[in-house]
Structure 1
Amino acid sequence: MPRIALYLPNFAGGGMERVMLHLAEGFLARGHEVDLLVSSAEGPYRHRVPAAARIVVLERAGSLSSRLLALRASAASDWLALARPVLLARRSGRQLLCLAALVRYLGERRPDALIAAYPYCNLSAIWARRLAQVGTRVMLTEHNMLSRKIAAKGRKGAQWRELPPLIGRGYRQADAIVAVSRGVADDLGVTAGLPRERIEIVYNPVVTAELAALAAEPEPHPWLAGCGEVPVIVAAGRLVPQKNFPLLLHAFARVRKERPARLLILGEGPERPQLEALRDSLGIGEDVALPGFIGNPYAAFARAALLVLSSDYEGLGNVLIEALACGCPVVSTDCPSGPAEILEGGRFGELVPPNDAAALSAAILRTLADPLPADRLRGRGAEFGLERSVARYLQLLLAGAEPVEVEPRRL
């Protein structure tokens, strides 16, 4: 059976890492050999690596040698384009410093296919194949909106502003380019100048066979043990500006003026001090808890009255799918991109304008008062299952099939 390598930075507790581990699980179940290539084998999801997968830690080389290798691999035709990989290799951290190790891996192991995730890993995958001169098929995956990531970095993100030209050149050499939503695909095409027809859409493999068992495990917070009288609202994600948890706190403060409720924000990140200060200043400290990263959020989703996604932008919005699969009602900002695709424009949960606390609180109150049936929500979540996604990945990666967009069927 073919050997498939998956290249990601580490086992951090984000949606992209979860998706890659689910793909590894699905490939192994079909009899493929799987290598997980990382620049660091650390992170909250390290314990979720399938036992049959082989972890390969790519050693870092020196900054100068990595820059020269990237320069050679890019095969650029003008001095400005030549300078860009040099700049990136200097500033982008571990991924490009692992380029030499990735070249050695491809030359020695010669996997049939390589799937990369994250822009710097994607570029490294293309450059490494060129340098190793192997026939490995390469698939590049985009899990978030490139233009929004660049904008979020601001003036401090010089290397991110150099990415679009590099991506426009490098991604064209891939055997397949996959985006996790229509919005991500459209944004990648416009931002990097890639032909839109080259970018496939494959929704994330979010729902796995173990989800039901995980949802049945003991509740991860005491509030969820007796949330019948006082409904518990949950949110989940890294505590970073993209998720706009301040919006959720302002909306929840409005909800609390209308009825009893509690809010759990699951996740960790640099914005914790600001969020805790805002919580206390709004006078909702007794009803809002930030318990940190939870390895099994499904047990919370299965018991919560509602999940809220308050993001300014998303790639897809895996947490919405996870909550639906647990039968949990959802409310989301209609942010680019993903929520409107998942919720089919509002059929499976209310969508509200981004950054509108009044609209978000009103939608929360309506949903708490009249939630959609749990069976209907579970049915929608099941459409984002592992088998469907794995089949499409393998079709694109190994069979060389004609491009076909695969989306969940309508219920």
Structure 2
Amino acid sequence: MKNVAVIIDSLAGGGAERVMLTLAQEMIAQGNTVTFFSLKENVEHIVPDSIDVVFPFKGNKPSLRSWFSGHRHAAVLSAAIKAAEKQQQPFDLVLVNLLESYRLAHLINLKKCFYVIHNSFNIELQREKLMGPIKYWYMRKIIKRMSDKQLVAVSDGVAQELKTASLYNPSSVTTIYNPFDIARIKSLSNKTTERLPLEKYILHVGRAAKAKRHDILFAALKLIESPIKLVCLAGNTKKLRKLSEKMGVSDRLILPGFTTNPYPWIKNAELLALSSDFEGLPTVLIEAIVCGTKVVSTNCPHGPNEILLDDLSQYLVPPQDPHQLAIAINNALKANVNLTDATILGKINAKDVTKSYLALC
């Protein structure tokens, strides 16, 4: 039996959080123990009782995004980890996820520690540069800390970027695809929900963040031949409503908000669209394929071109091009697409992925 720690910024409704929860559930099913250390008390996903969750800063709500308080915050996190080890046993594996967790974990002497990289650092850094020198400097300093670290990349594209980086020099880079409990996804997709639209719809699942490029998706929506509705599953509905009104598509938009079970929405959609500027290994594309739902995606770095292989590659389009995105959506809506034998399904089984992670111990 292995004892595994997962350090993560929060348990908000993002893909990295869902990936780690899926991994933890399968690790526990294989007889191991898992403890999450969540820097923020923001919990939107359903966390099974079998997973221990520790909030090192519970009740404090500190401003974690502050370089000058890093050592103080790292000491609090370190104390929480040591307390958990005292109650159980030393951790055999520590998995660190997302930026603030990377920053604090770097300041702690953690054994068997791997940093899981879920996105393209290069493009994130380029975007922060546009936001101003302070944000750029802050992120750049965190990313530089990847030198001499053991990294896990969630796709071959991310791995290649990490291996060829000039800003840092990791001690190792291992590619492990994200885990998917295929039977569970199919089961959850059959759950009934009264909130599903009665009319046909296409679907986008993802945070209301700039990198997801809802503006590109809304522009494409105006060019689609069919008057089909677009459902966006995201927490910040106010932000998306405002953007849709600005772009003249609010009458075509359905905003149910965040849901802990997106799978009935995915299964019943005519198509799932992804319009991102960058990803790591976009979870929703694989979940849609598992549910038998057609997909169209930007061919952004990284991951979509490792998921939409063979005949599915025709549904990859250049990023930031609403015209091409609309054309692909039009074509996919008319097509019969067989997803049962999609190549990616043989690479993401939770049992096998979990064994790859445990082999790091």
Asked whether the two chains share a fold, i.e. TM above 0.5, the reply is yes
Alignment of 1:1-400 (within 5 A): 1-45=1-45, 48-59=46-57, 88-90=67-69, 97-108=72-83, 109=85, 110-129=90-109, 136-153=111-128, 154-155=131-132, 156-157=134-135, 158-168=137-147, 172=148, 174=149, 176-191=150-165, 193-195=167-169, 198-219=172-193, 221-223=195-197, 226-227=198-199, 231-255=200-224, 258-269=225-236, 271-279=239-247, 281=248, 284-344=249-309, 347=312, 350-377=315-342, 380-381=344-345, 383-395=347-359, 397-398=360-361
* Matching residue of 1:80: none
The secondary structure found in structure 1 opposite 2:268 is coil
Hey, what does 1:407 align to over in structure 2?
none
CA distance in 2, matches of 1:391, 1:163: 29
Structure 1 gap segments, 5+ residues each: 68-85, 131-135, 399-411
> Compared with structure 1, are the counterparts of its residues 121 and 57 closer, same or farther at alpha carbon in structure 2 (3 Å cutoff)?
same
Deviations 1:346-389 (A, max 9, x none): 53661011111111111111111113124335x74464221121
Whole-angstrom CA distance in 2 between matches of 1:89 and 1:346:
51
Tell me by how many angstroms 1:89 deviates. Answer: 3.9
Q: Is the 8 A contact 1:325 1:380 kept in 2?
A: no
Name the residue aligned to 1:403: none
How big is the shift at 1:125?
A: 2.5
Are 1:220 and 1:299, in contact at CA under 8 Å, matched by a contact in 2? no
Matched-pair contact (CA < 8 Å) for 1:119–1:142: no
Higher helix share: 1
| Whole-angstrom CA distance in 2 between matches of 1:18 and 1:164 | 23
- Residue type of the partner of 2:74? L
Distance in 1, matches of 2:52 and 2:126, equals: 36
Distance of 1:348 and 1:329 partners within structure 2: 12
Q: Is the 8 A contact 1:61 1:100 kept in 2?
A: no
Q: TM-score, normalised by structure 1?
A: 0.78
Label 1:317 to 1:266 Cα distance change in 2 as closer, same or farther (>3 A): same
Quote the Cα distance in structure 1 between the aligned partners of 2:112 and 2:191. 40
Secondary structure at 1:271 match in 2: helix
Q: What's the RMSD between the two structures over aligned residues?
A: 2.8
| 1:27 partner amino acid | M
- Structure (1 or 2) with the larger CA radius of gyration: 1
Q: For 1:305 and 1:391, locate their aligned partners in 2 and report how far apart those are by CA, in whole Å.
A: 35
Distance 1:197 1:126 in 2: 14
- Aligned residue for 2:109, secondary structure, equals helix
- Measured in 1, the distance between the counterparts of 2:346 and 2:125 equals 33
Structure 2: 5+ residue stretches without partners: none
Q: 2:299, 2:310 → 1: CA distance?
A: 9
1:197 and 1:127 map into 2 onto residues whose CA distance is: 17
| TM-score computed with the length of structure 2 as normaliser | 0.88
User: Structure 1's 60 and 265: CA in aligned 2 closer, same or farther, altered over 3 A?
Assistant: closer
8 Å contact kept, 1:106–1:128: no
Q: Which has the higher contact order (CA 8 A, sep 6+)?
A: 2
Call closer, same or farther: CA 1:220–1:208 in 2, change over 3 Å: farther
Please state how far the C-alpha of 1:251 moved relative to its aligned partner.
Answer: 0.9
Paired residues of 2:153 and 2:176 also in contact (CA < 8 A) = yes
Native 8 Å contact 2:244 2:253 kept in 1: no
Q: How many residues align?
A: 351
Residue deviations 1:14-53, cap 9 Å, x none? Answer: 00100111111011111111111112333211xx222122
Amino acid at match of 1:265: C
Q: Quote the sequence identity (%).
A: 28
C-alpha displacement of 1:331: 0.5
Label 1:221 to 1:317 Cα distance change in 2 as closer, same or farther (>3 A): same
